[in-house]
Structure 1
Amino acid sequence: MVDEEVKIGVFICHCGTNIGGILDVPNITEYAKTLPHVVYAADNLYTCSEVGLTQIRENIKEHNLNRVIVASCSPRTHEPLFRATCFEAGLNPYLFEMVNIRDQDSWVHMKEPERGTEKAKDLIRMGVYKAALLEPLEKIKVSIIPSALVIGGGISGMNAALNLANRGFEVNLIEKEPHLGGLIRSLNKTYPTNEDASKLLEITNLVEENKKIKVFKSAIIENIDGFVGNYKTTIVQNENLTKIESGIIIVATGASPLSPEGYYSYNGKDIISQMELEHLLKNNSVYANNVIMIQCVGCRNEERKYCSNICCMGALKNAMLIKEKNPDAHVSIIFRDIQTKGTTYEAYYRKAREKGILFIKYLPEKPPVIKKDHIQVYNEFLNHEISISYDLIVLSMPLIANDDSETLAKMLKVPLEVNGFFLEAHVKLRPVDFATDGIYVCGSAHWPADISECISQSNAAASRASTILSKDMLEVEGSTAEINEDLCVGCEACIKLCPYSAISKDEETDTVIVNKVICKGCGVCGASCPHQAITIHHFTGDQILSAIVTYGGEE
């Protein structure tokens, strides 16, 4: 293809009014026709529609296009679709280039459409010059080990394991505690049905009796190596080492309740946590007639700025259970905000009010003050402090990330967010995926989640994992890094900087090697190599410089 004449087709999308309502798309299209190597240019309403995709396929064949550019929205959402369309028409998918004139142009320049139009011309011209230097690449094929590893034996992990086992896949379930069940073992009842939590624990029997699932209890992960389709995990159980091979990994390690020690004079007697109240309710040991619950203890502050998501509903549930057992009891909930999302939870909240539970809002700058036999709280609506007698104070503590989350994240080479929970690849497009292929997350390991959320997320994670396990071979991206051994001096700068740990040292040659299955072609190594020994395919130095120079830069 080196000697073949470059023929570029440019397809410019109106994206409804997202682009066409701001930029002069017909003008941009006419400009594109004047650019070098462009033999066809057209615009349409939605390039991602079947009409738009058909136009691409037909013109590749009609004009013998060997490069295709789509100027539209984000490559993150639509590049795979357009690449697949080019492939269907017989064109190597890596001879496709996408120019983002929505996120990077029309949305940015809504109030200056003329300048936005000129910027779109610049972006497309840069894309054309880069596309002229694109080279065909091939995806890398790897074999798949048709078994799964699920880390965590709570409701999320068990449900994910059952999902995969019921689809015929072998599953290894690792739990660091002596029993399966996670935090559900500590609960009395579940909201909003007020069903006994012990019924949910019946799933443990299904898991342990399933022939497709092998359970490792009291097991600690010592090491994780490998890549998508071929992970190798070493665990320690009863001082014995066991090595497990799997095609995918699901992280369902859950979260831990924050200790109430040091908050509101906690003493574990008449000032306790919601988790301790669950235990008392389970044993029918609540004898207090004046119960006060304080929300947002230890969170939504400078140390932990997040809402723990489950505390409000947990308090409502336990407050109503106390009223059901003792209708004469006085139960007050002192809150900053009440979160009852959805119509079902909102109805649950209204039911709590109907039962006579008192709700008192407090300001974060004026928190409740606990005295010997009463609590004082400033009421914003009354504009003065009120006093409430108590026999029992219950603190609603948040869920926090597990202490070993960072250790596990480093083994898996996946990120954590600022609060220590595992960070997904994309909050909307890939909510249960990590950026690292073949690893998924669900439940409270990802963010504090109630039981229904844990189940739905674990279903999603199992479904995503099945897309890999159901294949004998998996294709991974061909746009990866490549080392020029003649230029490499083995300084290891790239090894230290690679965010995916895809580069290692070959001690025999004293040069580095790239695991192309793990490599994401992010370019960090290529940009940092002091000897320019690394080429990032699809983003070579010549390709990037050609775009910069045509914009007005200097070589």
Structure 2
Amino acid sequence: IHSMQIPMDKLQDIYKKYDKNKLITKLDNHKIVKFGGFAGNYQIKIQEKTGGKISVDVGTIIIAGGTKQYPPAEGQFKYGISSSVMTQSEFQEKYDKKGLRKISRAVILLCVNQRLDPESKYYSQVRNQFGSEFLTTSNCSNVCCARSLKIAKQIKEQNENAEIFVLYRDMQLTGGKLEQVYRELKNDVVFLRYDSAAEIEPKIIKEGGSGANGRIYISFNEVNTKTKIGLEADILVLATPIATSEKTLDLARLLKIRTEKYGFFQEEHSKVLPLNSTRKAIFLCGSVQWPNNPDLEVSQALGAAMKAANFLAEGYYEGLAEVAEIDKDKCIGCGTCIRLCPYKAITFNIEAKHYVFGDRNIRKAEVNPLICQACGICMSECPVNAIIIPNSNDGAYINMIAQFAEGKEEGN
């Protein structure tokens, strides 16, 4: 759903330029099946839709992933039973200008199944339908409030006499433009805050008319006045959770990029290094980080493109100054570090001569300094303490503690 600030015709112009650019190769319905290498020299194997495979070497990567919207549970708020009940996305697809003029009364209900209370009567119903992945919808979807403003604005533009009610838990509006739209709409649209406590959630109390096209009645407890309110409407529009998709999670696992607790890609540092993933030369934009509106996604895309161009313009890449180092005299070739390294920076050196350890020949582990991110997992898990990271070992920390204690004694 495109925002109020980006006209669709402008996006179409961008699409046309994209298709005409001979330096851009578009691979529709292809899938990355293998990934390796390091910043400046990533190797990707792609499975074609015909079943064949192609290999591509790239210096940098921009990930512009999407999200998944969860529909209401079957029968919830009469969804799937009454044609008058729909999600925000379904509303956008269903109504053209002519259809909008026929709407005389609309209710937009925000935060349906969002941050759902485990005590809610809907919790077990939704969990049974969507399984364990429903846990990812405990985050705020970020864009639903803005979408509700857009829907209300579209209806009022086509029918100024239409009555519109927006029922919300919290209004989450990012940016001054959306706040301005909200203030303007408050003159014509009624915003009511409902009580989200499990026992008094908004619910359909009856459906009027005949068949599946009857009017909808909804009752809820309003927070500010502490009164129970009943509303009748032609349509009920539901804002349902937007969460990271399974495909996005699969991609994160394949590329060895960290995700935060809700499954979205994690930036290296949101303040210092925005749009940088936790792997060098892999940049992020769009809703792969969080559900975003198109305005912000376009800004992120421009920023990610600039970062990628700057990286390629350098012409070379230097790894971290301090990375993990393996003492080959201590290494017993157990493979613990190889198994645990989240970046696949450690491998057995298959070309080097095997070392003799006791009565057997073993291979020694080896660190690729261009891939290693000095996270310290290998160092802490090595059973024979064969791995160190300079200035991050026990001796360095003991010295720092001793210096701190010495300073305390001197009163510094």
State the TM-score, normalizing by the size of structure 1.
0.62
Corresponding residue for 2:77? 264
SS of the equivalent of 1:214 reads coil
Corresponding residue for 1:453? 296
Q: In structure 2, list runs of 5 or more residues that go unmatched.
A: 118-134, 208-216, 355-362, 407-412
Deviation at 1:448, TM superposition (A): 0.8
Corresponding residue for 1:491? 334
Corresponding residue for 1:277? 91
Kindly tell me: are residues 482 and 322 of structure 1, through their superposed partners in 2, closer, same or farther at Cα, counting changes over 3 Å? Answer: same
Q: Is the 8 A contact 1:191 1:314 kept in 2?
A: no
Deviation at 1:284, TM superposition (A): 4.1
Q: Deviations over 1:88-127 (max 9, x none)?
A: xxxxxxxxxxxxxxxxxxxxxxxxxxxxxxxxxxxxxxxx
1:386-397 pair list within 5 angstroms? 386-397=229-240
Of the candidates 276, 293, 299, which is equivalent to residue 108 of structure 2?
A: 293
Separation in structure 2 between the aligned mates of residue 472 and residue 199 of structure 1, nearest angstrom: 34
SS of the equivalent of 2:280 reads coil
Separation in structure 1 between the aligned mates of residue 143 and residue 154 of structure 2, nearest angstrom: 17
Separation in structure 1 between the aligned mates of residue 374 and residue 223 of structure 2, nearest angstrom: 56
Separation in structure 1 between the aligned mates of residue 399 and residue 222 of structure 2, nearest angstrom: 66
Corresponding residue for 1:371? 205
Q: How many residues align?
A: 363
State the TM-score, normalizing by the size of structure 2.
0.82
Q: In structure 1, list runs of 5 or more residues that go unmatched.
A: 1-186
Q: Is the 8 A contact 1:291 1:332 kept in 2?
A: yes
Of the candidates 141, 146, 152, which is equivalent to residue 308 of structure 1?
A: 141
SS of the equivalent of 1:349 reads helix
Which amino acid counterpart does residue 27 of structure 2 have in structure 1?
F
SS of the equivalent of 2:173 reads coil
Separation in structure 2 between the aligned mates of residue 190 and residue 380 of structure 1, nearest angstrom: 30
Q: Deviations over 1:227-281 (max 9, x none)?
A: 1000011111221211111111111112122223344231261110000000123
Deviation at 1:351, TM superposition (A): 2.1
Of the candidates 46, 53, 66, which is equivalent to residue 241 of structure 1?
A: 53
Deviation at 1:507, TM superposition (A): 4.1
Corresponding residue for 1:334? 167
1:419-430 pair list within 5 angstroms? 419-430=262-273
Kindly tell me: are residues 488 and 383 of structure 1, through their superposed partners in 2, closer, same or farther at Cα, counting changes over 3 Å? Answer: closer
Deviation at 1:466, TM superposition (A): 1.9
SS of the equivalent of 2:261 reads coil
SS of the equivalent of 2:25 reads strand
Corresponding residue for 1:418? 261
How large is the Cα RMSD of the aligned pairs?
2.2
SS of the equivalent of 1:285 reads helix
Which amino acid counterpart does residue 145 of structure 2 have in structure 1?
C
Separation in structure 2 between the aligned mates of residue 519 and residue 505 of structure 1, nearest angstrom: 15
Q: Deviations over 1:415-471 (max 9, x none)?
A: 111111111111211121122111111111100110111011111111222221102
Separation in structure 1 between the aligned mates of residue 235 and residue 388 of structure 2, nearest angstrom: 67
Separation in structure 2 between the aligned mates of residue 445 and residue 400 of structure 1, nearest angstrom: 10
Moved more, 430-439 or 496-505: 496-505
Q: Deviations over 1:473-531 (max 9, x none)?
A: 22222311222222211111111222322111234531111111011223322232222
Corresponding residue for 1:132? none
Corresponding residue for 2:369? 516
Q: Deviations over 1:278-311 (max 9, x none)?
A: 0123474343322111011121335433221111
Corresponding residue for 2:38? 227
Separation in structure 1 between the aligned mates of residue 153 and residue 106 of structure 2, nearest angstrom: 11
Q: Deviations over 1:311-346 (max 9, x none)?
A: 111111111211222223222111112223333212
Separation in structure 1 between the aligned mates of residue 5 and residue 402 of structure 2, nearest angstrom: 62
Which amino acid counterpart does residue 278 of structure 1 have in structure 2?
Q
Corresponding residue for 1:105? none
Kindly tell me: are residues 541 and 246 of structure 1, through their superposed partners in 2, closer, same or farther at Cα, counting changes over 3 Å? Answer: same
Kindly tell me: are residues 296 and 192 of structure 1, through their superposed partners in 2, closer, same or farther at Cα, counting changes over 3 Å? Answer: farther
Structure number with greater Rg is 1
The higher-RCO structure (CA 8 Å, 6+ apart) is 2
